[in-house]
Structure 1
Amino acid sequence: MKSFSMLRSVQQELRFLFGFLRNYHSTSPNNLQPLQHSITAYNKSLWANCRNFRTKMGSEGLKPVTVACIQLCCTEDKTKNFETARSLICQAKEKNAKMIFLPEAFDYIGRSKEESAQLSETLDGPLITSYRNLAKELKVWLSLGGFHEKQTELRDGLLPWMTNNHVLIDCSGEIKSVYRKVHLFDVVIPEDNVNLKESSFIRGGNEIMKPEKTLIGNLGLGICYDVRFPEFSLSLRKMGADVLTYPSAFTVPTGQAHWETLLRARAIETQCFVIAAAQTGQHNPKRASYGHSLIVDPWGRILADAKDDVGIITAELDLNQVASVRKKMPVISHRQAALYGNTITHKYSIPTGESDNETFSFGHVSVKMNAVFLESELSRAFVNKKCVVPGHVLISSKRVAMRLCDLSPSEISDIFTLAQKVQTIMEAIHGASSSTITVQDGKDAGQTVQHVHIHVLPRKENDFKENDEIYERLGDHDKGNNNIKWREESEMIIECNQIRDHIMQNHVNILRN
């Protein structure tokens, strides 16, 4: 770098010299043309040497690094899981692995949601402490995918919520980054005996973490289901990722259909190495995983495949290959981002009767879809269990997020645009020309369900003795210290169907947007 700075200094001095001579001989500028041509030629030569110098230093300075994937078949026995992982990590160290990747749910796979919650720990608990000590002892980096982090908030007032964390530990035992899974796996495939709803016990994250600088380059952290969302990996690439990692516990049916294809696609489109440690085998009578931990290069070639056995795979990662692939195929610079526009489209729909018995998560509460009268891509509007005024309805983000500040710009746009539509609909139904639209953003603001939501209340003249009294009523309407009754499900279904019918008859243009 000193040589590069010296070349740059010489160039700046030549520019200064030429400017000085030009001013000095301003009366005869033509006399400077030979000197100008000489300086320009020398300047080009300097920069050519500079580029060659940087290229040479880059290729010589980036040496291949051995990495390893640990493939596990975890159960509810945390001690046994750790001992198995420790043994395999030590074997990977003997194979000269400098960075070792563990799968999602490396800590345990519970036999039920209740058992999973009971087994969960905090980041400063004994399990992560043991892994930190192991990393320090062996002087290796550890990627721990899918740690069940215990939260302080309780689900249904009984068991703690959890987050699904990817924890990155360096060779000195320090936690370098913690990514909380944002895409939760809520999938029901009856014919394949798949029925998993992660959002019923896991709180989703709200941030894509900036890639962390490591000895194998800038490492982008994902978890399992995240691999199905190309925007996620492209975001990491834009933030400078050289390597993407997706610790996973794919089901057998989805793994057989999509696992390899997804990982190779993410590698090809981002031109990054992709490392995916996986769970394998039968964890309990209800749960089995596909296995096939993979390491893929930026060209989409598979460097290592663990098949379906518990064990380790290794590969050498050469970051010069990342640079080479990106130079040969500069797809990022060819992207026409201005033409793609915002991928969020303001389209609205009414849930079909077939989905009415399905549920969605509204904070810690499960709500049936038969209460939903209008949906957008990222939000939904539904009737209220306890109304301050007739037509008092709610709008929440589909993703469980506690505060307004936790929503992305796209989610903010989506939820408030839906609120505009709902306001128009509810005012028309109730013959109102005004509405109170408000967000109780946090516990101290009166929020009882820890999920950001908008209250839409149609207003009429003299509906309250004092106009602002509505805020007092709203503040305690669901606290039990008033005369407002909790509504029966049958009453809510009737109202929801009436609103759906009104939309179909009077606001069908909304559904065509």
Structure 2
Amino acid sequence: MRIAVAQMCSGISPIDNARVLQNYIGDAAAQKAEILFTPEMTGLVDRDRARAMAHIYPESEDPVLAAACAAAKHAQIWVALGSLAIQPIESGSEKSVNRSFLINPVGDIVARYDKIHLFDVDLDSGESWRESSAYQGGTQAVTARFGETVLGLSVCYDLRFPALYAGLTNAGAEILAIPAAFTVPTGKAHWEILLRARAIEAGVFVVAAAQCGAHEDGRKTYGHSLIVDPWGQVLLDMDTEIGVAVCDINLQEVAKTRRRIPAIANRRTFALPKDFG
């Protein structure tokens, strides 16, 4: 299977980002990829929340989602759209969701996943991040089929919570999508080692499309979009290159690796420690 990864430096204009995305979908198809993976917040990276809110739409009105569906249909390629900020009008909440989409080669959305784990932190530097102030977290893990392959969906900060990936691989996932927009310091410290750990734990391919570079809103992201095989080897590292890269993978490596290290088969449920006192 040939897969493609888009490493992006998304800006504050969804229309501009949509044009870039359409070009990348065409590039991936021209390189004979079956599926293209894109980063978290493909359609909008803007830490000015007041400004960003003017560009966050319901699914039915989102220009980036519409462009992705049209381009996937035109190019006849699957697209794992890393995530978009979406107004979830069905919930009645004023908060947005950070939503991944799987789009098939006829332009239909066949799966959706709302990021479960939200990044709330106060740093020693004085920086404070409150993803939960603007977003509501999802509650449902999601797997989906593209062709004969089972894909497990997740987004960025989810990477730090292995129980989610245990659930996805218990449900049959052979590839884990982990789109992200990691900062440079945490990217240097943790990005590759966490991705390789998620691959090794269950003998699964990991595809991690990332944001990269200096964005219009002043943010800097780490890049290094990776594809990791079930043995934990890095097959592709895009470093800080913006654009599309392709990689051929052999899905038979999943079964082969799981025979060598049967971690999924050996998983057990257990009682948690009792409180002290």
Question: Which secondary structure does the structure 2 equivalent of 1:70 belong to?
Answer: strand
Write the letter of the residue equivalent to 1:115.
Answer: R
State the Cα distance separating 1:89 from its structure 2 match: 2.0
Write the letter of the residue equivalent to 1:138.
Answer: A
- In structure 2, the partner of 1:172 is 106
- In structure 2, the partner of 1:121 is 57
- In structure 2, the partner of 1:146 is 83
Aligned in 2, Cα 1:133/1:265: closer, same or farther, shift over 3 Å? same
Decide which of 187, 190, 202 is 2:121's aligned counterpart.
187
- Please tell me whether the aligned partners of residues 293 and 307 of structure 1 are also in contact (alpha carbons under 8 angstroms): yes
Alpha-carbon distance between aligned partners in 2 of 1:163 and 1:116, rounded to the nearest angstrom:
13
Alpha-carbon distance between aligned partners in 1 of 2:247 and 2:49, rounded to the nearest angstrom:
36
- Paired residues for 1:72-471 under 5 Å: 72-125=8-61, 126-152=63-89, 160-191=94-125, 194-209=127-142, 211-215=143-147, 217-335=149-267, 337-338=268-269, 340-342=270-272
Write the letter of the residue equivalent to 1:250.
Answer: F
Query: Residues 8-56 of structure 1: CA distance to partner in whole angstroms, max 9, x if unpaired?
Result: xxxxxxxxxxxxxxxxxxxxxxxxxxxxxxxxxxxxxxxxxxxxxxxxx
Write the letter of the residue equivalent to 1:234.
Answer: A
- Please tell me whether the aligned partners of residues 216 and 317 of structure 1 are also in contact (alpha carbons under 8 angstroms): no
Question: Which secondary structure does the structure 1 equivalent of 2:20 belong to?
Answer: helix
State the Cα distance separating 1:198 from its structure 2 match: 0.5
State the Cα distance separating 1:214 from its structure 2 match: 1.1
State the Cα distance separating 1:346 from its structure 2 match: 7.0
- In structure 2, the partner of 1:393 is none
What TM-score, normalized by structure 2, do the two folds share? 0.94
Write the letter of the residue equivalent to 2:232.
Answer: G
- Please tell me whether the aligned partners of residues 21 and 68 of structure 2 are also in contact (alpha carbons under 8 angstroms): no
Query: Residues 301-325 of structure 1: CA distance to partner in whole angstroms, max 9, x if unpaired?
Result: 1110110121122111211111111
Alpha-carbon distance between aligned partners in 2 of 1:87 and 1:194, rounded to the nearest angstrom:
35
Q: How many residues align?
A: 275
State the Cα distance separating 1:286 from its structure 2 match: 3.7
- Please tell me whether the aligned partners of residues 26 and 71 of structure 2 are also in contact (alpha carbons under 8 angstroms): no
Alpha-carbon distance between aligned partners in 1 of 2:138 and 2:157, rounded to the nearest angstrom:
13
- Please tell me whether the aligned partners of residues 117 and 161 of structure 1 are also in contact (alpha carbons under 8 angstroms): no
Alpha-carbon distance between aligned partners in 2 of 1:262 and 1:175, rounded to the nearest angstrom:
29
Alpha-carbon distance between aligned partners in 2 of 1:208 and 1:275, rounded to the nearest angstrom:
17
Alpha-carbon distance between aligned partners in 2 of 1:214 and 1:318, rounded to the nearest angstrom:
15
State the Cα distance separating 1:131 from its structure 2 match: 1.1
Query: Residues 471-500 of structure 1: CA distance to partner in whole angstroms, max 9, x if unpaired?
Result: xxxxxxxxxxxxxxxxxxxxxxxxxxxxxx
Write the letter of the residue equivalent to 1:256.
Answer: K
Alpha-carbon distance between aligned partners in 1 of 2:147 and 2:127, rounded to the nearest angstrom:
39
User: Could you tell me the percent identity over the aligned residues?
Assistant: 35
Write the letter of the residue equivalent to 1:332.
Answer: I
Identify the structure with the greater helix proportion: 1
Q: Which has the higher contact order (CA 8 A, sep 6+)?
A: 2
State the Cα distance separating 1:225 from its structure 2 match: 0.5
Alpha-carbon distance between aligned partners in 2 of 1:119 and 1:208, rounded to the nearest angstrom:
27
Aligned in 2, Cα 1:216/1:223: closer, same or farther, shift over 3 Å? farther
Aligned in 2, Cα 1:216/1:116: closer, same or farther, shift over 3 Å? farther
Alpha-carbon distance between aligned partners in 2 of 1:253 and 1:216, rounded to the nearest angstrom:
38
What TM-score, normalized by structure 1, do the two folds share? 0.52
Alpha-carbon distance between aligned partners in 2 of 1:188 and 1:96, rounded to the nearest angstrom:
44
Alpha-carbon distance between aligned partners in 1 of 2:117 and 2:217, rounded to the nearest angstrom:
26
Write the letter of the residue equivalent to 1:112.
Answer: D
State the Cα distance separating 1:285 from its structure 2 match: 5.0
Aligned in 2, Cα 1:286/1:294: closer, same or farther, shift over 3 Å? same
| Structure 1 alignment gaps of length 5 or more | 1-64, 348-511
State the Cα distance separating 1:178 from its structure 2 match: 0.4
| Structure 2 alignment gaps of length 5 or more | none
State the Cα distance separating 1:208 from its structure 2 match: 0.8
